């Protein structure tokens, strides 16, 4: 008799294991849901009340869909309104449904309708909205929900491993890895946890987590470039962090140096930004930046307030008429403006090879509107360029003039 009962129990257990996972349950209010909520937490379908009928219809359809409910597992589901114009009545209604969950109406980075994911304790860690929701099929939405929940389980597992790790380095590494899980936000209190585990940031994970590439006041271009290069070599930084650093640097270079003087630097880091992730928005913008934000400095343009850079970096003038052996005179003539120019150095180049270098600074001012350089060329040149280093201060570039080259 006992044997029969054992077999029957085994059959029941096997049958239960073969059954599909129980679908998520919908609750009317947070107060009802929190009595039965599991570690999976809450999923809230937020619809625009009274000002977007399509959005409301979409949320009601999704929350009732069997595929969506199955994907949500044992999460507690809520259907909640968001109001365009709030008042005491609408606030009270929303509060009745949402309870102590985070105030979704204050999240400016979320468009509606939306699906928001909350931990059991009430912290929001992910959302679906915009194109991911409006242009997705029911099956695609269900898949995205499952992906978010799987990412959260992965993150929770890493956090548990960190808690059980014995070495501080392992704890710090695992905490950092928990913040790198894709499609969801970092765990709450992550920075504080890293601070407690590694107060001196000996292992560098907190620096990587807090990384932000800002332009520091008074920082030289050379120092800024070195900071960027160091960030690009840091394996603990995400690709998107490196791309943003490149984009910040490119914008600064274009504003401070212009599209001609800053052209080589803009081109270099736009290429890196593209190569890091060609299909990302910043990666796609790389070739566009090189096309629209880079101009060559050509013979015949002279100089102007827009051409003179705010830092003393070499500007390469192309199409210079110096190809044959001989003696040439390069003339700088001031035509208009307030400040004139300072020429710190003039070099005649053939590709990467320096032919002649004039390192004596010369000022072109209204007291002396013309300055000349004499260059002696002994052999024919293939790709001649003039490398001009202007020395104007950033606020003293109101100057226009002509640059001419004549063979003696």
Residues 140, 191: one domain? Answer: no
In angstroms, the CA 23 to CA 20 distance is: 8
Residues 33, 121: one domain? Answer: yes
In the prediction, which pLDDT does 104 show?
47
Q: 17 in a domain, yes or no?
A: no
pLDDT digits (tens, 9 = 90+) for 71-82: 999 999 999 998
Q: 59 in a domain, yes or no?
A: yes
Q: What's the rounded mean pLDDT across residues 39-48? A: 94
pLDDT band at 2 (very low <50, low <70, confident <90, very high): very low
Poorest-confidence range of 52-61, 99-108, 163-172, 385-394?
99-108
Contact (CB, 8 A) for 132 and 142 = no
Residues 127, 187: one domain? Answer: no
Residues 178, 143: one domain? Answer: no
Residues 194, 174: one domain? Answer: yes
pLDDT band at 258 (very low <50, low <70, confident <90, very high): confident
Choose the final residue of a domain: 292, 316, 344.
Answer: 292
Residues 261, 313: one domain? Answer: no
Q: 40 in a domain, yes or no?
A: yes
3-state SS string for the chain: CHHHHHHHHHHHHHHHHHCCCCCCEEECCHHHHCCCCCCCCEEEEEEEECCCHHHHHHHHHHHHCHHHHHHCCCCEEEEEEEECCCCHHHHHHHHHHHCCCCCHHHCCCCCCCEEEEECCCCCEEEEEECHHHHCCCHHHHHHHHHHHHHHHHHHHHHHHHHHHCCCHHHHHHHHHHHCCCCCCCCCCCHHHHHHHHCCCCCCCHHHHHCCCCCCCCCCCHHHHHHHHHHHHCCCCCCHHHHHHHHHHHHHHHHHHHHHHHCHHHHHHHHHHHHHHCCCCHHHHHHHHHHHHCCCCEECCCCECCCCCCCCCCEEEEECCCCCCCEEEEEEEEEEEECCCEEEEEEEEEECCEEEEEECCCEEEECCECEEEEEEEECCCCCCEEEEEEECCCCCCCCEEEEEEEEEC
* Residue % of the chain over a pLDDT of 70: 92
Choose the final residue of a domain: 259, 292, 325.
Answer: 292
Poorest-confidence range of 9-23, 132-146, 301-315, 341-355?
9-23
**pLDDT at residue 354 above 50?**
yes
Q: What's the rounded mean pLDDT across residues 62-71? A: 96
Residues 55, 171: one domain? Answer: no
Residues 229, 187: one domain? Answer: no
Residues 35, 130: one domain? Answer: yes
In the prediction, which pLDDT does 72 show?
96
Choose the final residue of a domain: 257, 292, 327.
Answer: 292
Q: What's the rounded mean pLDDT across residues 326-343? A: 96
Q: 258 in a domain, yes or no?
A: yes
Q: 214 in a domain, yes or no?
A: no
Write the CATH number for 71.
3.40.30.10
In the prediction, which pLDDT does 13 show?
36
**pLDDT at residue 19 above 50?**
no
* Residue % of the chain over a pLDDT of 90: 68
Instruction: Give the total number of structural domains in the chain.
Output: 4
Q: 96 in a domain, yes or no?
A: yes
**pLDDT at residue 5 above 60?**
no
pLDDT digits (tens, 9 = 90+) for 109-132: 678 899 999 999 999 999 999 888
Residues 53, 126: one domain? Answer: yes
Domain interval for residue 377: 300-407
In b/e form, how buried is each residue of 37-49, taking b as 16+ CB within 10 angstroms? Answer: beebbbbbbbbbb
**pLDDT at residue 325 above 60?**
yes
pLDDT digits (tens, 9 = 90+) for 216-254: 888 888 999 999 998 999 888 889 999 999 999 999 999
Residues 64, 169: one domain? Answer: no
pLDDT digits (tens, 9 = 90+) for 140-199: 999 999 999 999 999 999 999 999 999 999 999 999 999 989 899 999 999 999 999 999
pLDDT band at 108 (very low <50, low <70, confident <90, very high): low
Q: 231 in a domain, yes or no?
A: yes
Considering the entire predicted model, what is its pTM?
0.61
Q: β-pairing, 114-118 with 42-49? A: antiparallel
Average pLDDT of the chain? 89
Contact (CB, 8 A) for 63 and 11 = no
In the prediction, which pLDDT does 102 show?
63
- Please choose, from the candidates 189, 158, 150, the residue with its C-alpha nearest in 3D space to the C-alpha of residue 175: 158
Question: How many whole angstroms from its chain centre is CA 383?
Answer: 38
Write the CATH number for 348.
2.60.120
Q: β-pairing, 341-350 with 353-358? A: antiparallel
Residues 70, 98: one domain? Answer: yes
Q: 159 in a domain, yes or no?
A: no
């Amino acid at each position: 008799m006992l044997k029969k009962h054992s077999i029957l129990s085994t059959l029941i257990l096997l049958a239960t294991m073969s059954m599909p996972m129980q679908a998520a349950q919908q609750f009317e209010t947070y107060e009802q849901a929190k009595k039965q909520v599991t570690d999976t937490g809450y999923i809230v379908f937020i619809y625009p009340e009274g000002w977007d009928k399509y959005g409301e219809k979409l949320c009601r359809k999704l929350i009732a869909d069997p595929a969506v409910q199955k994907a949500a597992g044992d999460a507690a589901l809520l259907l909640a309104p968001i109001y365009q114009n709030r008042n005491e009545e609408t606030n009270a209604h929303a509060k009745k449904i949402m309870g102590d969950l985070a105030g979704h109406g204050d999240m400016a980075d979320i468009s509606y309708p939306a699906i928001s994911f909350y931990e059991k304790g009430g912290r929001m860690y992910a959302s679906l909205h915009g194109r991911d929701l409006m242009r997705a099929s029911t099956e695609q939405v269900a898949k995205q929900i499952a992906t978010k929940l799987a990412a959260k389980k992965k993150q929770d597992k890493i956090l548990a491993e960190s808690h059980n790790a014995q070495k501080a380095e392992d704890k710090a590494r695992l905490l950092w890895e928990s913040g790198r899980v894709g499609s969801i936000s970092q765990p709450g209190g992550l920075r504080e946890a890293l601070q407690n585990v590694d107060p001196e940031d000996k292992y560098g994970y907190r620096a990587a987590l807090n990384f932000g590439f800002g332009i520091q006041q008074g920082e030289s271009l050379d120092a800024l470039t070195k900071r960027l290069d160091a960030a690009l070599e840091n394996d603990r930084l995400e690709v998107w962090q490196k791309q943003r650093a490149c984009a910040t640097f490119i914008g600064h270079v274009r504003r401070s140096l212009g599209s001609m003087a800053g052209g080589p630097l803009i081109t270099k880091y736009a290429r890196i930004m593209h190569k890091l992730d060609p299909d990302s928005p910043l990666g796609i913008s790389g070739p566009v930046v090189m096309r629209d934000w880079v101009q060559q400095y050509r013979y015949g343009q002279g100089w102007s307030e827009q051409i003179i850079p705010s830092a003393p970096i070499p500007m390469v003038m192309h199409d210079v008429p110096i190809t044959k052996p001989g003696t040439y005179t390069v003339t700088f003539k001031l035509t208009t403006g307030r400040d004139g120019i300072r020429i710190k150095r003039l070099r005649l180049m053939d590709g990467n090879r320096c032919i002649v270098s004039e390192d004596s600074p010369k000022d072109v001012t209204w007291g002396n509107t013309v300055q000349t350089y004499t260059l002696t060329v002994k052999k024919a040149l293939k790709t001649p360029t003039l490398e001009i280093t202007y020395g104007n201060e950033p606020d003293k570039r109101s100057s226009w003039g002509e640059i001419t080259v004549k063979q003696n």
